Structure 1
Amino acid sequence: MNWRMSDNGMTSFLTRLRGDTRGNTLAMMAAFLIPLAALTGSAVDVGRMYLVKVRLQQACDAGALAGRKFMDDSNSTTLDANAVTQARTFFANNFPSGIMGTPAYTNATRPYPFTPTKTADNQVAGTATTRVPMTIMQMFGQSEQPLTVTCEARYDIADTDVMFVLDTTGSMACAAADASCSQAVRTYTRPDGTIGYYTTEKSNSKLSGLRAAVMNFYDTMASNIDPNTHVRYGFVTYTSTVNAGAALLDVSPNSFVTQWNYQSRAITGEEQTGSASDTTYSNDTSAECTARAGRAPGGELTFSTNGLAYYFTRISWTRNNGRSTGGTCVIRAQAVKPVWRYGPVTYNVSQYIATLNTSNTVADPSKITGATARWQGCIEERTTTPGTTTFDIDNLPADLDPDLPATSNNSRWRPMWPEVIYYRATKAGNTYAGNGSSPYGDLWVDQYTRARDSYTNMTPYPNGWAENIESGYVSCGKPVSRLATMTRDQVSAYVNAVDFKAQGGTYHDTGMIWGTRLISPTGLFAADTAAWPGRQAPNRFIVFMTDGAMAPNDSLYGMYGMEKYDGRIGGGNTSDLTDFHNARFVAECAAARSRGITVFVIGFGQALNDELRTCASPGQAFFAGDNAALTSAFQSIAKQVAMLRVSK
C-alpha cells in the first residue's frame, strides 16, 4: 500500500510538533552542560589561583624583607649568601613546599620558586613564580596556570627628625617610686664658668632613668637605619623657662628687644641715717675750708658695699684774730643711704645680651655695690594673650605661634635677668630705704643669694625669703640643642653633661612651645628640618616626657616674668594659673600636630592626665612607672619611628 501525505497533512504534523514541548528541557540541559561545566570550573580554579597569588605575594614580601634585614652592606652588586638563605627561609615559612598542589621544591634538588636580588640602591627585590594545577579545567585542556609576583623591600626609616622635649625639673632628682623627696641643693660650675644650683639626685633618680632611655632610643634607631637614611636629633630641657638664647641669636640676630621692663628698683633719692658729726679744722683759709666739703646735699653720691655713703658740708669758717687769711673751719659729716622705688624699671639690655657665651659682664643697674651680671641664655617670652583658656589654632598669639618672625617688640624675645628682679611688699610698688646697712631689695630673686630681710613690714615673697632655691623660684637649665645629625657620643655628651641637672618647677607649655618652634617646617628654624637635597621632606616627631602635672607659681620668675606683678598669663587672675597654662600647652600641641608633627607623650611616674593625653597624637600616649618602663616606652617609640616596611 502506498502512503502519501498530502501537503496539508505535513503542515499539520509540524504544527503539532512545534507546540509539543515535552522533553525539551532535557535536551537543552544536555546542550548547556558543557559550557556550564567550563564556567563553574573556571570560577573554582580562578578562586584557587587568587588564593595562591595572595599567599605567594606575602611570601615574596617576607623573603625580601628578611633578605634586606640580613644583607651585608658592601659595594657588591650581588646579594650575599647569608641574605639569600634568610630570604628563602622566610619565603618558605610563608609559602610551604607543595601548598595547594603547587610544585614541591627543596633547596637541594629542586630550585626555590623565589629569587632575591640586590638592587642598585642597596635594597632587596624578589621574584616568585609557581604553577597552579587546575581541577575542573583539566577537562578542557588546561592542566595548570603559571603565576609570577614581584616585590621590593627597604629595611630603613624615612629621613626623620626627632625633637626630645624633656622635663628636667627638681622632682626628676627623686626616684620614680617616691611620692615626694627632699634632696639637698648644691652648686656646680657651668660650662661658661659661672655658678649654678641643682637638686642632688638619688642613685636611682628619674633623671638617671631618662639618660638611659634616651640612649636606648638612639641605639634602637641606629640598629634599624639604612646607610642612605638621614636622621636628626634635637633637645629641649624645660622648667619654668627654656635656655634658647643662643639658638635664637644664631638664626635671628635681631630677635631680641633692646629695652625691657623688669620688676626691679631704682634710686629716687637718699635718706639720712645715724647722727651727724662735726669736725673742726684750724688755720684754714676760706677756700681750704670749702674744699673739705666733698658734696652738698642732693649731689652725686658713691655708695660703699654696705649701701651707705657720706656727704660733707661746710658749716662755718671764722677768721682767726690778728691773721688776714687763716681761720677755724667746721665740717659736718652725714651718713646717707639710697631710697629705692620698687616696681617696673626699663633697662637697656643690648650689652647684657652680648655677654652670652663670653667672659664679659655688665654692671648690675639695680645695685650700688659694684655687682656685675652675665646672661645665661634663658628667655622671657614675647607677647601673649592673658586671661584666656581658648585659642584659635589659626590665629595664635605671638608666643604660641611657632612660625612668627621677630619683626616688632611684640614678636621679639627678652632676656631673663634675675639679678635685677626684686620681690616687694605690694603689687603697686614701694619706696623704701632699708634699715641701717641692710637695704631692702638687695635680696633679689636669683639662684645665688638667699637671705631674709630684717624689715618685717616689707617681707618679700615668698614666706620672707628672697629666693627659695629648693622650690625652684628661678632656674636656667641646659641650652637647647637644635636639630642636627648626632653621633652616639654627641647624644651621650648632651644627656650626661654637667649642666643636665634637676632644677626648677614644671611648666609644660614652655617646653612644648620651644619643641614645636625648633622642629616646625615653616618657622624660624625651618632650615634645620628642611628636606635633604633631592629627597622628600622628613618625618617629624616630638618625644615629650614629663614626671609631673603642671605646677605654676605666681611668685616664680620664669619665661613670663613674675605673674604676681606682670600678669602676663592670668591677666591679674592668679587663682586659675594652672588652667591658663594647661590651655596654652594643649593649644601648642595642636599647633605641632597641625604641622604634620607626630607627638609622643610619656608620663613618667605620673598618671597621664587629660591634658597630656590630649597633647599626644592618636594612640601615642605612654605611661612609665619606673626607670625600666621608661626605657621600654622610649624603645617602643623608636621602633615605631624606625618601622620596617615594604616599599613596593
Structure 2
Amino acid sequence: MSPVTRLVYALLRSRSGNILPLAAGAIFAVAALIGGAIDISRGWRVQTRLQAACDAGVLAGRKAVTTKGFDAAAEASAASYFNANFDPDQFSAKDTVFDPSSADRGSTIDAVATTYLPPLLMQIFGFGDMEVTTRCTASMGVGNSDIMLVLDTTGSMSSLLSGSTQTRIQALRASMKSFYTTIETAVSGTNARVRYGFVPYSSSVNVGHLLVDLNPEYLVDSWVIQSRKPIYKSVQTFTGYGTPTNGAPVATTTNPTYSSWSNYNSTTYLSSGSCNAQKPADTAWSNNGVATTTSTTTINGSGQQVVTTTTSQPQTATLYGCNISFLSYRLQSRTGTRQSVTTVTSTANAQYVTTQVFDKWEYRPVTYDTSHYKQFESVSTNTGDNAAAVSSRWKGCIEERSTVSEDAFTWSSVTGMTPAGAEDLDIDGAPDGSPGTKWAPMWPEVVYIRTTISFGTVYMNSALPSATGQQAASYCPSPAQLFSSMNQAAFYAYADALVPEGGTYHDIGMVWGARLSSPDGMWSGHVRDAPDNGGEVSRHLIFMTDGEMAPSYSIQSAWGVEYHDRRVTDDGVTHDTERHNSRFLALCNQVKAKGIRVWVIAFAQAMTPQLQACASDSSAFTAANASQLDTAFQSIAKQVGELRVVQ
C-alpha cells in the first residue's frame, strides 16, 4: 500500500476534530479526480492516434500488395506508414507493437496495434501502465469500371530491354496479366462489373470488324489509293493462214524430143510422091504413163502464202515421113515425147490475233472499288508482277476520315475542336452518308509509292504519274475490342496475341480509344450498358507507349501515304510530327472532359511534354524497365480499385 493510500485510510479512521488533515485528504481526492481525468484524456488521445496510425498502416500495406500477395515488402510498407503516423515518444508511450497480417494473400489486411501509456498522476495512487489496443482492417474493392487499354504495338516494342533478354512486348504482356490479376482479385466475391477494352495501335488501328458489325455503310465503297496502273500495248500474234484462193490453171507443154527415124515398112518408092501417097497421118499427142504432181510453198511480198501445184503428164506422138535412101524413098516414122504441164497457184492471207500485252507500270493514284473488299471478301487486282492478278482480303485496318491540313488543333468544352472540319478528330460523330465522313479499308496489297533514283539512291517522287515506284510498307496491329467482361484465359490470350510492327502514331490510338470509350459516341449503347448491380461506372483509359510520336511519310498509315496524300501537311513532310502531336493533345483534352481518367505510361523512354500533358492529374508514369512497368500497372490497378478501411 502506497504512503498516500495509508495516509488516506488513517485520516478516514481518525475521530479527532482537527480539520487540517481533513482538508489535506480532500486535496488528495481532488487530485485523484483531476489526475484520472488527465490520464484518461491522454489515453483517448493515444488511442485515437494509434487507430489513425493503424488505419494508415493497413491502407499502405494493402496498396503495396502485388501478385506476390502480402509479402515482406508489403508488410514493411505497412510498418513504415504506421511508424510515420505514431511516434511513441510524443506520448511517452512504450512497448508499441504493430502486427499486420493477411489470411487471403493480401486481399484484406488485418492489424492489431498495441502500446502502453504510463500514467502521469495516477501512478501516485498505485495505477500502473495503461494498455491501449486498436484493431484495423483494409481491403481494396473495385467498383464498376470500364478500362480501355490503348497499347503501342509499334516495331520498337520488339526491341530487347536494356540489360535484359526480355523484349518490350514480352514485358507488356506480363504486366497486363499482373494488372488483370490485381483487378480481378479485388472484385472477387463482389457483384462489381469490370470490363476491358483494347486498342492496339501503330500506324493504324484494326477496327474494321467493329465498323462492319455496327454498320457496313460507315465504310466507303470506292477509295482513291496511291497505287500503280498497268499500261498495255497491242501485239499481233500470227495464228496461221486463211482459206486459199485458187488461180486459173495454166497449161503448158515442154518442147518435145524425138527418136531417130526408123523404117516404117520394107517398101521402097521410086519417087517422093508415091511415097507420100502411102504415108499415114501423124498421130496426136496422147498421155503416156502416170502423171506426177509437186507443190511448192512461198511467201510473197504481201505476206501471203503462195502454194504452186504442178502436174506433169507424159505424152507421146508418132510422126511419119518419106526419106531418100540409096536412090529410093523409104516410108519412115519416129516417136516424139513431151510433158503436158498444168500449174495451179493458190494464195492465202496471213491471219493475226491482236492482244493487249503488259508494257510498263504507271505509278499514280487509282480509284478502287472497295464495296466487296470492306466486307472481308477476297478481291482480285491486276497489281502483281507484269500485271498478274493478285487476290487479297482485308485484315481490318483503316484509313481515317477527311481532315484539314492545319498547324495546330485545340479543343474546349465551349468551342469544341478548332479548327473545324477535321472529321478524323471527331470522337462521337457517326458518318452522315457523305464520303468524307466515312472510313476506308486500308488496302496494303495495292499501295505503291512514286520514286526516283539518283546515283543509286531511291527518293520519293512527287511527279504524277511516275514511271518508277515500289510497294509501300503497311502495318496492321491486332484487332481492337469493345468493352467486355473477360475471364483470365481470354485476357491472357489477347495479351499474348499482340504483335509489334509499324510506326508510332499516338493520335490514331487515342482517337479510337476515345471512340470506343465515349458514352456519347457511336458505341454509346454498349458503353452505357448498365451493370446489374445498378451502380455507377468509373471510366479509365490507359495509354502505354515506348516511343515519341514518329509519323512516316513513306508508309501507308491511317492518313494514307503522307508524302503523296498530304492530308495532314501541305507538302507531305514539313512539321508532320508537330501537327500529329497537336492533334493528339486536342484528343486527350476531349477525352478527359468526358470524365474519363487518362493514365499514361512512358515505357523505356522519357516522359515527353506531350505525354505528360495528355495524362489526367497524378496519372503519368515513367517505366525504364519491366519491373517499373509492372509497378506502373499495379499502381493504376490499385487506384482504379477503391482502397478503404473496413474496420
Q: Tell me the TM-score normalised to structure 1 length.
A: 0.61
Q: Which moved more, 1:606-615 or 1:276-285?
A: 276-285
Name whichever of 244-253 and 589-598 sits farther off: 244-253
Matches within 5 A, 1:14-29: none
1:211 counterpart = 2:173: yes
Contact 2:149 2:513 in 1 (8 A): yes
Amino acid at match of 1:493: A
Alpha-carbon deviation of 1:63? Answer: 11
Write the mapping of 1:175-574 to structure 2, written as runs, cut at 5 A. 175-177=160-162, 203-228=165-190, 229-266=192-229, 270-272=232-234, 281=241, 283-284=243-244, 327-332=347-352, 336-338=356-358, 341-355=362-376, 360-364=377-381, 366=383, 368-394=387-413, 395-396=416-417, 397-408=422-433, 409-425=435-451, 426-430=461-465, 458-460=467-469, 466-467=471-472, 473-497=473-497, 500-530=498-528, 531-533=530-532, 535-574=534-573
**What is the CA deviation profile of residues 18-64 of structure 1, one whole-angstrom value per residue up to 9, with x for unaligned ones?**
xxxxxxxxxxxxxxxxxxxxxx99x9999989958955974897899
Asked which structure has the greater CA Rg, the reply is: 2
Asked whether the equivalents of residues 225 and 365 of structure 2 are also in contact (C-alpha less than 8 Å), the reply is yes
Question: Aligned-pair distance for 1:319?
Answer: 11
**Distance (Å, rounded) in 1 between the aligned partners of 2:344 and 2:522:** 80
Conserved? CA contact 2:179–2:634, under 8 Å: yes
Residue of structure 1 in register with 2:624 after alignment: 625
Q: Return the alpha-carbon distance in structure 1 between the equivalents of residues 242 and 209 of structure 2.
A: 63
SS of the equivalent of 2:183 reads helix
1:604 Cα deviation from its structure 2 partner: 1.3
Q: Secondary structure at the residue paired with 1:564?
A: helix
Q: Alpha carbons of 1:381 and 1:47: their partners in 2 closer, same or farther (altered >3 Å)?
A: farther
Q: Secondary structure at the match of 1:350?
A: coil
User: What SS class does the counterpart of residue 522 from structure 2 fall into?
Assistant: coil
Q: For 2:598, give the aligned amino acid.
A: V
Aligned length: 463
Query: What are structure 1's unaligned runs of at least 5 residues?
Result: 1-39, 70-89, 102-122, 125-134, 137-148, 179-201, 287-313, 432-457, 468-472
With over 3 angstroms needed to count, the CA separation of the structure-2 counterparts of 1:326 and 1:260, relative to structure 1, is same
Distance change >3 Å, CA 235–CA 327, structure 1 → 2: same
Contact 1:242–1:379 under 8 Å retained in 2: yes
Q: CA separation in 1, counterparts of 2:184 and 2:362?
A: 58
How many Å separate the matches in 1 of 2:537 and 2:38?
Answer: 47
CA contact (8 A) 1:529 1:538 kept: no
Secondary structure of the residue aligned to 1:385 is coil
* Separation in structure 2 between the aligned mates of residue 277 and residue 346 of structure 1, nearest angstrom: 32
**Structure 1 515/46 Cα, relative in aligned 2: closer, same or farther at 3 Å?**
farther
Contact conserved, 1:547 with 1:604, CA < 8 A, in 2?
A: yes
Partner of 1:193: none
Cα distance in 2 for residues equivalent to 1:504 and 1:574: 18
SS in 2 for 1:644: strand
Secondary structure (helix, strand or coil) at the match of 1:424 reads: strand
Give 1:173's aligned amino acid. Answer: S
Contact 2:601-2:622 at 8 Å conserved across structures: yes
Percent identity of equivalent pairs: 37
Matches of 2:525 and 2:242, distance apart in 1: 79
Alignment RMSD, CA only? 4.8
User: Partners of 1:614 and 1:95 in 2: how far apart?
Assistant: 38
CA distance in 2, matches of 1:46, 1:568: 77
CA, structure 1 residues 154+354, in 2 after alignment: closer, same or farther (shift >3 Å)?
same
**1:328 maps to amino acid:** A
CA distance in 2, matches of 1:407, 1:319: 74
- Assess, with a 3 A threshold, how the Cα gap between structure 1 residues 283 and 403 changes in structure 2: closer, same or farther: closer
* 1:580 match: secondary structure: helix
Residue 475 of structure 2 aligns to a residue whose secondary structure is coil
CA distance in 2, matches of 1:230, 1:645: 18
Q: Which runs of 5+ in 2 are unaligned?
A: 1-33, 64-80, 93-107, 110-119, 122-133, 247-301, 310-341, 452-460
Q: Which amino acid aligns with 2:489?
A: D
Residue aligning to 1:130: none
* Alpha-carbon distance change, 341 to 537 in structure 1, aligned in 2, over 3 angstroms: farther
Contact 1:389/1:584 (CA < 8 Å) preserved in 2? yes
